[in-house]
Structure 1
Amino acid sequence: MLKAVVFDMDDTLLSINLSAFIAVFARDEAALLADIARKSPLSMFATFGAALYALNNGERNDDDTNLAFFQKQIERRCGVPLCDPVIADVLTYYEREILPGKNDGIINARPREGAREAIDAVASRGLRCALLTNPSFSRACIECRMGWGDMLDMPFELVTTMENSTRCKPTADYYLASIAKMGLEPQEVLMVGNDPRRDFPSPDCGIQTAYVGNGTPVRATWAGSMAKFADSFNEIEERFYERREQAAAANAHASNV
């Protein structure tokens, strides 16, 4: 049976110009690291971006947390040890005290229409809830955006971050490890997201996705706006169980061939 609904954050529960946010975040953190290391801000920005790309491209065979992997990437590329307590404190201070004030008219972060109603609809049915946002940012940075989206009081059992994850979206390993932390199986979980590249596990691992972005991906169990999600939840549940039965029948047929 359906036991949990897990949500993406950016442009799912939170309306945001994500590209602008990443640009500001990377620029500011690179500038801080450049000051610390007495290096060119431009070269440090390039280093920071390359490390983020390496974190997200999925070509890894280690068991490091995303934070440890990113720290090693930065140190290997420019010699700055992000794990040094003084440097770590500087970045954490920026993310907790300075970054929340960076929400301007370009980033324009705000609660997505229908987001709270969606969480309430899930909770009212006794279903469990988690925030499976791409864990390429620290807990402090993710909580900053959660604050912009009025999500800090939402009943998430798990929020995926750099510190507690070892892979990023869309790898199936990320999704399976995340729901395993909740003691769940793929067939018991519905993912809600807006990104056709990242919010459908790759390869398919049995987790269904309700899609709240543009278009109607073939793999989507349901597609519509976040604003319509709560009112459509009975239909979404019906489609969830229909898809699960179809998958079970297909698996049974394959086993008998």
Structure 2
Amino acid sequence: MKAILFDLDGTLLPLDTDEFIENYMKMLSWEMKALIPPDLFVKKLWDSTYAMINNTDPGKTNKEVFWENFFEGIECEREPVLSKIEDFYKNKFPELKKVMKQNPVSYSILKEAESLGFELVIATNPIFPEIAIRERLRWINAENFSYKLITTYENMHFTKPRLEYYEEILNIIGTNPEECLMVGNDVEEDLVASKLGIKTFLVTDYIINRKGIEPKPDYAGSLKDLLHFIKNTGGRPH
């Protein structure tokens, strides 16, 4: 094994994803209310997110797809909206840390994996800007590891659960699927990586299984189990 791909929300970041998204939507739509009515804003936010998820054009980043869709058919100036959203991520988004449950194991997992020589990838669903993903890494003291890649809506062209998302990661980090382990809590979005030959570890602390699929990971367990698993790998072969 050469590289470990880590999902973030509900995996390294101990939180209930639905609770996080609900609080995020509420807070952001409130901040934007002077420019766009909250109901319309939330609708555009969801529509544009689904546009990213459904996008199959490798020539457009998720960010480009999102904003193309967002500004379609609404009467508002682009610049004030983008400026206000940037301000939100800098000044308000950090408050969402309140929905996180405390669990120091995540830092230990990354520290152990790095010390054993594994390449680290933050393979979070790239529907957020980099500033929001780095902020969430800060919540678990994980912002300063030497990641090979952090997937964001600026640098990726596909989202989970598309196989193209995982193919793009492999291409960027220059690694074969059989040399990787995907660690995640979402049965559909994270375990799909196995279709490419990537080994999978299902983290069960905040497991998501919206479609009631029978999980078939190579490994499964809590974050503590994952720490033991990584310790017992013996490290990356040289």
| Letter paired with 1:29 | L
Contact 1:34 1:40 in 2 (8 A): yes
Contact 1:74 1:81 in 2 (8 A): no
Residue 64, structure 1, aligned to residue 63, structure 2: no
- Shift in Å at residue 50 of structure 1? 2.1
Gaps of 5+ in 1: 239-257
Show the counterpart of 2:230: 233
Alignment of 1:9-48 (within 5 A): 9-36=8-35, 39-48=36-45
Show the counterpart of 1:138: 129
- Shift in Å at residue 218 of structure 1? 4.8
Show the counterpart of 1:158: 149
Tell me, in whole angstroms, the C-alpha distance in 1 between the residues paired with 2:16 and 2:75.
32
- Distance of aligned partners of 1:115 and 1:46 in 2 relative to their CA distance in 1, 3 Å threshold: same
| Letter paired with 1:174 | Y
Residue 224, structure 1, aligned to residue 221, structure 2: yes
What is the RMSD of the two structures over their aligned residues, measured on CA atoms?
A: 2.6
1:70-110 CA-to-partner distances (Å, cap 9, x unmatched) read 0011111424465x3x4322211110111102333xx2x14
Identity rate, percent: 23
- Shift in Å at residue 147 of structure 1? 1.6
After TM superposition, the score normalised by the length of structure 2 is: 0.85
Tell me, in whole angstroms, the C-alpha distance in 2 between the residues paired with 1:45 and 1:35.
14
Out of 46-55 and 220-229, give the one that drifted further.
46-55
After TM superposition, the score normalised by the length of structure 1 is: 0.79
Tell me, in whole angstroms, the C-alpha distance in 2 between the residues paired with 1:188 and 1:111.
31
Q: Give the secondary structure class of the aligned counterpart of 2:228.
A: coil
- Distance of aligned partners of 1:63 and 1:26 in 2 relative to their CA distance in 1, 3 Å threshold: farther
Show the counterpart of 1:244: none
Q: Give the secondary structure class of the aligned counterpart of 1:129.
A: strand
Q: Give the secondary structure class of the aligned counterpart of 2:133.
A: helix
Q: Give the secondary structure class of the aligned counterpart of 2:181.
A: strand
Residue 100, structure 1, aligned to residue 119, structure 2: no
Gaps of 5+ in 2: none
- Shift in Å at residue 229 of structure 1? 1.4
Q: Which has the larger radius of gyration?
A: 1
